[in-house]
Amino acid sequence: MAAAASPAACARASASGARAGGRLAGRTAALPPDGRGDGAASYKELGLYSLKKRIEDAVVRVEMTASSALELEEARRIKQEEVLRKRNLWDNPAKSHETLSALADAIRVVDHLKDLCFKAEEAKLISQLSEMDAINGELFKQAYKSSVDASEYLDRYQMHKLLKGPYDKEGACIMVTAVSDGVASELWAAKVFCMYTSWARKQGCKVGLIEKVPSKNGHVRSAAMEIESEYMFGILSGEKGMHRMTYSSLENSDTCQALSARVDVIPLFLDRPINLHLDDNDIEIAPTPCEYKKRDSRNCAAVRVVHKPSGVTAESSGERSYFANKLKATSRLKAKLLLIARELGVLDMKMITKQAIEDKCKRETRRYTFGPQKLVHDLNTGIQLSDLNLVLEGDIEQFIRGRIIARQ
């Protein structure tokens, strides 16, 4: 599966560069009004040596990596063009759409890599000019921003090249559900969901529908977020499973209590339907159209679909009508079953047993320990981080990257 950098990814890199530029602005405030200083002495005075080193490291990395990547992607683009020239687009529209999509993907990656090389050359030139006793604060900020953009794009490019699963390039729908009833469990599920919304916001992802299903207590029983950016399923698929929070009891500090939230991640098929047929007799939909008409209009749109042989469920409440939510919930159910069938190696959906589903649902993904010694332990990668608050604020990149690398 070829890698691509979506517009949202580029916006994310620009936003990161802007933040870095803001930090740098504080350091360059001591420059004279014309923005110039006294060469090396100014670097020492302003503490810019480390930033200059980062620029140089980013330039070297681009020079060593981007040129070979550009050659590879150019060859892929040429190959896709040759395939397209030999094919009659009307013979097999589905295959032709796949080929056109691959060509557009290759062209986009080539364009981004060329822009990456340009940014690196720009940063290198500015850095060289600064060595000629002509340090200009604004130019230096521009060079640093370009180097940050280049490094972040290379990070994404290299990570995307590792995502080769059949659905890895798709967007993602991430769903968080409180495992048990009760305010504490529901508040923990809401906290886990906020972790993902914060992560998506920091990454500059293209977030679509966000929906929350309230509980009888007035809190969140379950929540879902659709992220439409490319490769989101491949990036986030390792997050699925139980996210368990442990804490000490107020009455007895030696006694630990635990709460769990279940995280599901399914591919978001935006440009093609899910090719999976389900027997109507195997599907149960609640509420029924008749029950829907009798419900309170403020809570009438939520629809829940159950696959009776396996017990797998999906729901939707973010659309404006019962029919639209029914379609969305059914689509999510099909995506869930596709993933489960692939993991279990079965072709017939009726062969998916409830016991197999329960075993997979109970698998613990990450453990969050509250108390004097705060700790976050990712069970898939073995990574442990002590800054619990930072993780809950969306800093989960180490876990994501570790799982993607471990998959290879």
List the chain pLDDT tens, one digit each, 408 residues: 444 444 444 444 444 444 444 433 433 333 333 333 444 444 444 456 667 777 777 777 777 777 777 778 788 778 877 777 776 666 666 666 666 777 777 787 788 788 777 777 777 777 676 665 555 666 777 777 777 777 777 887 778 888 888 888 899 999 999 988 889 899 999 999 999 999 999 888 888 889 988 888 888 889 999 999 888 999 999 999 999 999 865 555 555 788 999 999 999 887 677 778 888 888 899 887 777 666 655 455 689 999 988 888 999 988 888 888 899 999 999 999 989 888 888 887 877 877 778 777 778 999 999 877 889 999 999 999 999 999 999 999 999 999 998 876
Is 288 within a domain?
Answer: yes
Same domain for 108 and 233? no
Is 71 within a domain?
Answer: yes
Is 399 within a domain?
Answer: yes
pLDDT for residue 186: 92
Is 22 within a domain?
Answer: yes
Bridge partners, residue 257, by sequence: 247
Looking at 100, 134, 161, the residue that finishes a domain is 161
Q: How many CA atoms lie within 13 A of 63 on its CB side?
A: 11
pLDDT for residue 243: 96
pLDDT for residue 32: 37
Same domain for 178 and 157? no
Same domain for 192 and 299? yes
Q: Which domain holds residue 356?
A: 171-407
Same domain for 216 and 344? yes
Of all helices (H) and strands (E), which one includes residue 366? Answer: strand 364-369
Is 264 within a domain?
Answer: yes
Same domain for 176 and 59? no
Looking at 161, 188, 221, the residue that finishes a domain is 161
For residues 232 and 408, what is the distance between their CA atoms, to the nearest angstrom?
A: 18
pLDDT for residue 332: 92
Question: In the chain, how many domains are there?
Answer: 2
Same domain for 180 and 317? yes
CATH number, position 257: 3.30.70.1660
Looking at 127, 161, 195, the residue that finishes a domain is 161
| Exposure class string for 226-248: b at 16+ Cβ within 10 A, else e | bbbbbbbbbbbbbbbbbbbbeee
Nearest to 384 by CA among 397, 364, 399: 399
Measured in degrees and rounded to the nearest 5, phi and psi for residue 119 equal -60, -40
SS (H, E, C) 210-269: EEEEECCCCCEEEEEEEECCCCHHHHHHHHCEEEEEEEECCCCCCCEEEEEEEEEEEEEC
Is 20 within a domain?
Answer: yes
Same domain for 183 and 144? no
> Do 116 and 153 form a contact (C-beta atoms < 8 A)?
yes
Same domain for 155 and 258? no
Same domain for 129 and 179? no
Neighbour tally for 313: CB within 10 Å: 16
Is 1 within a domain?
Answer: no
Same domain for 155 and 188? no
Same domain for 11 and 67? yes
**What separation in angstroms does the CA of 399 have from each of 46, 167, 383?**
35, 20, 7
The single residue listed with the structure tokens 């986030």 is 236
Measured in degrees and rounded to the nearest 5, phi and psi for residue 377 equal -120, 115
pLDDT for residue 258: 87
Is 166 within a domain?
Answer: no
pLDDT for residue 189: 94
Whole-model pTM?
A: 0.71
Same domain for 309 and 224? yes
